[in-house]
């Protein structure tokens, strides 16, 4: 295979993308580490004598990182514009690292080790929120970074690798959690040290991410915005080749006025579509399955170890179908894959709802969970991020992406934190709610989302000016 993209270097492009997607891996790792730790964490804090650690408390604790994700998403536009895409990712790496250490040892400086109290729970949640801010930053800036360095004909595929990294990060942490669980001599050790080790394990990929970010460039579009067109041209030549670099640079210059454009310059429609893409991605219930996977399998009657193994199997399925999206997104387009995925998710969740109402929980439930997650991973998982990174014009991208990502994390927190209480009300009814949102997401994409396959980021300005 030739190592060129129109005389540019594929090896260089892939190397830069590989570093950026470590942020996606940490996104997945940080949000899914709770799936193995939440059981031991719940038992630990149930031992507190100064307050009652109930299901509501546990729902908030299991989802507290998502509060940080909302904050990180909301400030991502400011950080990306003021400090640059690369430096924003460096800040995210530092936050991941500090959160991993703090979640491992929340007693640091202020509390007695191993003594559960309400104040210690607050401290633990603050460390999780800190990591969540890193996730929120990475979730917005990683796809933005990749989209701004990738050629138009490869952008969908390369941005989709970020979702692959997210799911791979989840799979890695499922394995890590399983290994930590199996290394403990008794269940009591899971309550005292097991959950701590699970959170600590994130410090290693976080440190690697921070180190590798010293070897990647700033994006050409940010360099132009910062008044450094010569450096931007150098990066474009390495990626696209000298023949294309100059013309791409001129296109960027025409639209590179991000700091002076108002958010509604291209109408309200593009902002609303970005927000609804984010909300629907979460309202279908995917993170309930990802965060609470071992507990869901335990509710089906499986033991703790078997539940963890089933979770790992589900993670492998997720990887496979994310690759399907990567291979097809630039070939078939964004809209067809989203609609197919919505229908598949609706079928999976509707079947789980019916099985739950009939109290027929077993192998069939596992099959429909896999159908549901596979449908999400080959559609809404990666493609929502592709669209959020590319659908907004250059002039408002930083601010618009921040709004869309903040909306996504608000929806994520709402869905994830309410699941324990909703499942106590009715597991079947909860799944039926998610199935309804899956159906609505298909209608939304069919009616309102434009196809962006093959369009340059600069062409988005023309698209929305025409539709304004």
Considering only CA atoms, which of 88, 91, 64 is closest in space to residue 76?
88
How much is the pLDDT for 331? 74
Give the pair of three-digit tokens for residue 435. 């199935």
User: Domains in the chain, please, with CATH?
Assistant: 10-216+257-467 (1.20.1250.20)
Q: Is 108 helix (H, G, I), strand (E, B) or coil?
A: coil
How far is the C-alpha of 444 from the C-alpha of 410, rounded, in Å? 20
How far is the C-alpha of 179 from the C-alpha of 215, rounded, in Å? 32
How much is the pLDDT for 90? 95
pLDDT at 226 over 90: no
DSSP letter, residue 450: P
Residue pLDDT, tens place only, 2-54: 444 456 678 888 888 999 999 889 988 887 888 778 888 888 888 888 888 88
How many alpha carbons lie under 13 Å from residue 59 in its C-beta half-sphere?
Answer: 17
Residue pLDDT, tens place only, 286-295: 877 765 555 5
Compute CA 88 distance to the chain's CA centroid, rounded to the nearest angstrom.
16
With contact defined as beta carbons under 8 Å apart, do 264 and 466 qualify? no
Give the pair of three-digit tokens for residue 243. 């023949």
How much is the pLDDT for 187? 74
H/E stretch holding 340 reads helix 334-357
Q: What is the 3-state secondary structure (H, E, C) of 218-250?
A: CCHHHHHHCCCHHHHHHHHHHHHCHHHHHHHHH
How much is the pLDDT for 87? 93
How much is the pLDDT for 317? 79
How far is the C-alpha of 401 from the C-alpha of 74, rounded, in Å? 9
DSSP letter, residue 261: S
pLDDT at 348 over 80: yes
65-82 and 85-104 helices, crossing angle to 10°: 150
How much is the pLDDT for 304? 54
Top-confidence range, 146-155, 260-269, 454-463: 146-155
pLDDT at 350 over 70: yes
With contact defined as beta carbons under 8 Å apart, do 390 and 155 qualify? yes
Lowest mean pLDDT among 56-70, 147-161, 286-300, 420-434: 286-300
Cα 82–Cα 83–Cα 87 angle in degrees, nearest 5: 160
With contact defined as beta carbons under 8 Å apart, do 191 and 43 qualify? yes
36 burial type by CB count under 10 A (0-12 exposed, 13-18 middle, 19+ buried): buried
Residue pLDDT, tens place only, 383-434: 887 888 778 876 777 778 888 888 888 888 788 778 777 877 887 888 899 9
Compute CA 242 distance to the chain's CA centroid, rounded to the nearest angstrom.
35
pLDDT at 188 over 60: yes
How far is the C-alpha of 24 from the C-alpha of 161, rounded, in Å? 9
87 burial type by CB count under 10 A (0-12 exposed, 13-18 middle, 19+ buried): middle
User: What are φ and ψ of residue 391, in 5° steps?
Assistant: -75, -25
How much is the pLDDT for 1? 39
435: CB partners within 8 A, 6+ apart? 345, 346, 349, 350, 353
With contact defined as beta carbons under 8 Å apart, do 263 and 403 qualify? yes
């Amino acid at each position: 295979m030739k190592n060129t993209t129109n005389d540019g270097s594929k090896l260089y492009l892939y190397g830069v993308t590989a570093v950026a997607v470590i942020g996606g891996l940490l996104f997945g790792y940080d949000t899914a580490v709770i799936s193995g730790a939440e059981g031991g964490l719940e038992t630990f804090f149930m031992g507190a004598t100064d307050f009652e650690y109930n299901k509501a408390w546990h729902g908030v604790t299991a989802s507290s990182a998502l509060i940080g994700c909302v904050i990180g998403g909301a400030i991502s536009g400011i950080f990306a514009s003021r400090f640059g895409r690369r430096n924003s990712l460096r800040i995210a790496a530092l936050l991941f690292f500090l959160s991993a250490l703090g979640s491992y040892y929340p007693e640091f400086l202020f509390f007695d080790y191993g003594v559960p109290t309400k104040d210690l729970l607050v401290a633990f949640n603050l460390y999780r929120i800190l990591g969540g801010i890193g996730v929120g930053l990475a979730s917005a800036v990683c796809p933005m970074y990749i989209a701004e360095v990738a050629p138009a004909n490869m952008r969908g595929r390369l941005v989709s690798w970020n979702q692959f990294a997210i799911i791979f990060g989840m799979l890695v942490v499922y394995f890590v959690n399983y290994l930590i669980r199996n290394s403990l001599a008794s269940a009591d050790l899971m309550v005292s040290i097991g959950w701590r080790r699970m959170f600590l394990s994130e410090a290693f990929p976080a440190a690697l991410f921070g180190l590798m970010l010293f070897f990647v460039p700033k994006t050409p579009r940010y360099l132009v915005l910062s008044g450094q067109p010569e450096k931007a041209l150098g990066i474009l030549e390495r990626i696209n080749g000298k023949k294309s670099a100059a013309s791409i640079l001129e296109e960027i210059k025409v639209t590179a006025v991000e700091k002076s454009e108002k958010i509604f310059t291209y109408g309200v429609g593009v902002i609303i579509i970005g927000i609804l893409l984010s909300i629907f991605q979460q309202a279908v219930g995917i993170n309930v399955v990802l965060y609470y996977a071992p507990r869901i399998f335990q509710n089906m009657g499986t033991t703790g170890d078997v539940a963890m193994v089933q979770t790992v199997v589900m993670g492998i399925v997720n990887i496979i179908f994310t690759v399907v999206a990567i291979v097809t997104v630039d070939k078939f387009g964004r809209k067809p894959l989203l609609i197919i995925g919505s229908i598949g998710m609706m079928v999976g969740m509707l079947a789980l709802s019916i099985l739950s109402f009939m109290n027929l929980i077993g192998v069939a439930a596992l099959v429909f969970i896999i159908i549901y997650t596979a449908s999400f991973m080959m559609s809404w998982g990666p493609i929502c991020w592709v669209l959020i990174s590319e659908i907004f014009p250059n002039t408002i991208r930083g601010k618009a992406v921040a709004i869309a990502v903040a909306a996504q994390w608000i929806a994520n927190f709402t869905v994830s934190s309410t699941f324990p209480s909703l499942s106590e009300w009715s597991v079947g009814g909860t799944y039926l709610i998610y199935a309804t949102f899956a159906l609505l997401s298909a209608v939304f994409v069919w009616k309102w989302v434009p196809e962006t396959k093959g369009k340059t980021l600069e062409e988005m300005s023309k698209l929305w000016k025409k539709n304004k």
